[in-house]
Structure 1
Amino acid sequence: MHGKSAWPRIALYSVTWPVMFAYLSWKHTTKLGDKVREVSGKGKPRQVWEQWVVAFRHSISPKKYYVFELFRPERYANAGAYIARYEFKGGLHNLIESRIDQSSRRILNNKAAFFLHCEKAGVTTIPSFMLVHDDGRIERLATFEGDLPPVDIFFKPFRGRGGRGCERWLRQPDGSYADQYDTRKSPADLLAHIRAQAKIEPVIVQQALFGHSALRDLSINVLTTCRVMSVKNESGGYEVTHAVFKSSTRSDSVVDNFHKGGIVSRVDVTSGKLGPASDAGTKQPCVWFDRHPTTGAMIAGRQLPFWQETKELLCRGHAAFSDRITIGWDVAITDDGPVIVEGNVQSGCDMIQRTHDLPAGIGRLAECYAHHIQIAERQPISESWKARRARA
């Protein structure tokens, strides 16, 4: 919703927000307040009061008060520097995007185009073999013999988010494929299954990779990834500012997302060492894992392999999308080195700010972003952006 069409909703929220806020404060404090009191010593009335303070001063919701653990004094002191999801996604991102005439946004949002673009630029990304359209038509992105590539297969909706609709099928010695429940399909049956899924939404078929052998005790059964933020700096170069490592806790999952049992750790961007892990913070506040809750493997202090190579790959990747100020990368670290899974145009900071003690509004990401915002404010809105908004 943009422009004049947004005003009715803004007017409604302006009148009703105190009631909505009171309900959300009651909901989250009832659910999480007792545990927070045990850890922080702050009773529920104090927690509610702080929620109202950060809402008035910094537009932080009751939910984010708990997600960012603002009941911790050192975090509460920096509450004004926490960046809300809407401030980045659809806010500051759009301010800068609106000044770009020929945007690479389309390529980043298109999994097939992203793979081909990275291949051309010499940037290592997850092998993508074909795009299956909703009419059953197959568009091959790479050369292989037969109906399906003779490798482990991972497929997902072309526009999918959050790991929904993903499936992994491992190739067996007899040429068939098996999923995590040991359901078996011949190549012809699996292709028919993929085409059936594509009728709902086009499907991209990729190679199923596995994480580095030194990290297998944190992955359970999935390809674990890092979410890494890179930014174009003041001199036009690129640097990595934040990173988190995602682990899985469920043997029946094929992705590492939160709603599939994932947990997230801070990554020290200089050394590549992990901090303790946590979930999204809305179910069990103040719970941090130094060891993996399923395998017992040590998380805190763990060294990620190929970390310098990972940062170098992502900076080269960012250079291939040079109009972007920031990119939120999903990157896997395998035995052969880092492999980019995808790049996100409008990446938020919630995982970063939950796991890091300093908010995203403090540090290099904020400094570089502020530099580019100042430049964007002096530039006219591009004609292509105006045309897109007119169509919307």
Structure 2
Amino acid sequence: MQSQTGRLRTPSIHTRTVLVGASLFALSTGLAQFLTDTPAWRFDSPVQYDSDFAVAVGLCWTLFQLAVHRKAQRERERWLMASGAMLLLGAIQATDLLVSSGLIHDDWLLDLPLWMAVATLVHAVLRRGRERPWVAMLWRAGVLLQTVFMLCDLCQGCSLPTWSISAEDIASLAEWSELLAIESYVMAFVLLGRAASSPAMSTRRRPLATGAEARRVYERGHLFQKAIYPPLRLAFYPGVRSVLLVATSIGLVVAIGPAVRRAAGRSLVGQFVDLLVLGLRHGFDPLAYYFQELYRPGRRAEAATYLTRHETKNGLLHLLNALRPAPDAVNEMKDKLRFAARCRHAGLPVPRTLLACDEAGVAWQAAPSDFDRDLFLKPRSGRGARGASMFERVGPLRYRTPDGDTLDLDALVERAGARGHHAPLIVQPRLHNHAELADLADQSLVTVRVLTCLDAQDQPVVTHGLLRILSKLEPGWQRQDEYGIPIDLASGQLGPIRSDRLARCADLYTHHPVKGQPVAGRALATWPALKALAMAAHRTFPHRILVGWDLASTVDGPVLLEGNINLDVMFPQRVHRQGFADSPLGPLLQHHLATLARAYDVD
């Protein structure tokens, strides 16, 4: 079919028309088979002829779609796989001729791998069926009928006297199930091609909120890169994720539900229904439901405004930050030495590295006298405080370890070298908090997470700021919480404190949860300098689109600690109690998601 401009267009076919037409085709086949004396298992029966006809129709349709989408790479690849599936179905039909001509005795061993290959190819083509229920349903029906065919084909020559089923009946059932399986796959392809190409389907009536749009692009663009959340590849196979989602929802309701019911009045059944609706229908992470307090009255509808770890950690942020070519072949932000070198070259303040240890040995980068201070040891490629240790100076070149032992410099270097042989690490001077933050921690460094994103003119914009207090670096607190405090972008004023612990998802603190002093309402005098440093850092790495910068306000001024391109989106939204769609980041992300969608041929 051609449009008035001469371009090939897929005809507009209503779903009901496809389903009714396929039903009439099956009924006419049944009537023809009823009126003939030829058994259905014969290669010259109406069932066999109509199976061949269905394969021919499916092949013509997929080749037509291949021509329609010849200039769209991803669609072209999908319809090339669909054509391959139809050719394999044709090969399966051809094996019947080999049996009837006596060239082979049984085609079951030949049909089995061919049918498995067909099911795999069809599933790869129909991965968008989640937004088109009939497509997914037809694929499942095809797999079920295909299984029936293979079982009956295996049993050909046998009979089931207990049920009074003859070997001929089993052979006929095999051919009928084969026809219906082929017809199911062909209908799925027709509905998918009609839906993918119809202008009415490709143009949404209104744009989705940023969170929902991110999940749409991630799913329809097949942007999965690596199993990070959860770190199990099996969890991303079709059907497994749905089972895990239901199981996770049950576990969360049992563990957290009673506390949420007391805090917000949402019943356990209501929470479970919310989790299933958001998870199964919208692909929303169950943990985010509790972390973002969507159980509170009227807040479930806000789920579309939130991004979750499922889409961001497993591929979306990685590919978003890879849209622009990088000057280095490696992630320069993952390697703290490489990152610090780039920052120093740009004139940005970063912590000094005194020692670097890896499998090659110990590399001194400062004189021994520079070690006569509190020291901080951390992985060279780690994130946050994971694997970090603090060594407190208790005398000239002597240190107290986190477990209470005392070491001299030589013993400390020996210990660092042993650890660095297994996982590279660095030793830096311990930084001390600025006076306006000093009362928020006893020993640890209070860090400031600043999110920046490029705008349409490729200029960085600060979209979020929050203080982070890590309890696990405070031995006297006996807690593992990370506390977050929102920072008003204009005034630098602090808001209420929230914890990252799931058990405290409903808790809000205006005072320090351990030390007790008031926090909400304070204003950071150093906030303008911290914002300026984050902007300067993003200009140093202009090929990155969205970055979470970790900075510190120290007694010597603002210091840049690290940059995160696969940042956690959950905590900033929780701390600000606002989805990214309703924040300054929302319009910027929408712009870049549109670019990502075009890059991966998502309509």
Task: Please report the TM-score for the alignment, with normalisation by the length of structure 1.
Answer: 0.86
Contact 1:249 1:293 in 2 (8 A): no
1:355 to 575, 580, 583: 575
Structure having the larger proportion of residues in strand: 1
Higher relative contact order (CA 8 A, sep 6+): 1
SS in 2 for 1:14: coil
Deviations 1:223-270 (A, max 9, x none): 01122211111222211101221124467449x9x9843211222222
- 1:275 matched to 2:498: no
- In structure 2, the residue matched to 1:115 is 340
SS in 1 for 2:290: helix
Instruction: Return the offset for 1:367.
Output: 1.3
Deviations 1:30-62 (A, max 9, x none): 111111111211111111111122213431232
Instruction: Return the offset for 1:4.
Output: 11
For 1:1-392, list aligned pairs within 5 A. 13-103=237-327, 106-138=331-363, 140=365, 144-146=366-368, 149-180=371-402, 182-249=404-471, 252-253=474-475, 260-378=480-598
Instruction: Name the CA shift for 1:260/1:305 in 2 (closer, same or farther; >3 Å).
Output: farther
Instruction: Return the offset for 1:316.
Output: 0.3
More deviation, 43-52/81-90: 81-90
Between the two proteins, the alignment pairs up a number of residues equal to 375
Contact 1:147 1:188 in 2 (8 A): no
Instruction: Name the CA shift for 1:31/1:237 in 2 (closer, same or farther; >3 Å).
Output: same
Instruction: Name the CA shift for 1:236/1:158 in 2 (closer, same or farther; >3 Å).
Output: same
More deviation, 34-43/244-253: 244-253
Deviations 1:260-291 (A, max 9, x none): 43211222222222222122241223111111
Tell me the distance in 2 between the aligned counterparts of 1:231 and 1:100: 14
Contact 1:147 1:187 in 2 (8 A): no
Contact 2:350 2:561 in 1 (8 A): yes
Contact 2:372 2:396 in 1 (8 A): no
Tell me the distance in 1 between the aligned counterparts of 2:511 and 2:379: 33
Instruction: Name the CA shift for 1:121/1:300 in 2 (closer, same or farther; >3 Å).
Output: same
Contact 1:180 1:252 in 2 (8 A): no
SS in 2 for 1:196: helix
CA-based RMSD: 3.0
More deviation, 23-32/174-183: 174-183
Tell me the distance in 2 between the aligned counterparts of 1:150 and 1:5: 43
The structure whose Rg is larger is: 2
Deviations 1:334-361 (A, max 9, x none): 1232111110121121101111222012
Q: Aligned letter for 1:77?
A: A
Instruction: Name the CA shift for 1:253/1:214 in 2 (closer, same or farther; >3 Å).
Output: same
Q: Which consecutive residues of structure 2, in runs of 5 or more, have no partner in the other structure?
A: 1-221
Tell me the distance in 2 between the aligned counterparts of 1:259 and 1:230: 30
Q: Which consecutive residues of structure 1, in runs of 5 or more, have no partner in the other structure?
A: 382-392
More deviation, 92-101/70-79: 92-101
Contact 1:220 1:250 in 2 (8 A): no
Tell me the distance in 2 between the aligned counterparts of 1:215 and 1:289: 17
More deviation, 166-175/43-52: 166-175
Q: Aligned letter for 2:288?
A: K
Tell me the distance in 1 between the aligned counterparts of 2:505 and 2:258: 10
SS in 1 for 2:507: coil
Q: Aligned letter for 2:547?
A: I
Task: Please report the TM-score for the alignment, with normalisation by the length of structure 2.
Answer: 0.57
Q: Aligned letter for 1:115?
A: A
More deviation, 23-32/180-189: 180-189
More deviation, 364-373/220-229: 364-373
More deviation, 19-28/172-181: 172-181
Tell me the distance in 2 between the aligned counterparts of 1:9 and 1:154: 35
Instruction: Name the CA shift for 1:234/1:99 in 2 (closer, same or farther; >3 Å).
Output: closer
More deviation, 63-72/165-174: 165-174
Instruction: Return the offset for 1:168.
Output: 1.1
Percent sequence identity is 28
More deviation, 123-132/193-202: 123-132
Q: Aligned letter for 2:463?
A: T
Q: Aligned letter for 1:122?
A: G
- In structure 2, the residue matched to 1:386 is none
Q: Aligned letter for 1:133?
A: D
Tell me the distance in 1 between the aligned counterparts of 2:418 and 2:388: 14
More deviation, 41-50/121-130: 121-130
SS in 1 for 2:525: coil
Q: Aligned letter for 2:265?
A: G
Instruction: Name the CA shift for 1:286/1:211 in 2 (closer, same or farther; >3 Å).
Output: same
